[in-house]
Amino acid sequence: MSAGDLIEHVDLRGVECLNAERDDMWRHAVCVGERDQETLTLVTDDDEELILTLPFTSNVKPTRAVIKGGSTRGNEETSAPMRVKIFVNPTALSFQNIGKKTAAQVIECRSEDGAYDLDATAFDNVRTLTFYVESNAGGTDKTEISRIEIHGCLADSANMNDLKPC
* R_g (Cα) of the chain, nearest Å: 16
- Write out pLDDT tens, residues 81-121: 999 999 999 988 999 999 999 999 999 999 889 999 999 99
- Domain 4-153 architecture: Sandwich (2.60)
- Cα three-residue angle 141-84-21, rounded to 5 degrees: 40
The pLDDT of residue 76: 74
The residue extents of the domains of the chain are 4-153
The pLDDT of residue 106: 98
Regions of the chain with pLDDT less than 70: 1-2, 70-75, 157-166
Residue 93: count of CB within 10 angstroms of its CB: 18
How far is CA 137 from each of CA 48, 91, 99, 141, rounded to the nearest angstrom?
A: 10, 28, 19, 11
Summary mean pLDDT of the chain: 90
* Helix ranges, 22-89 (H): 27-30
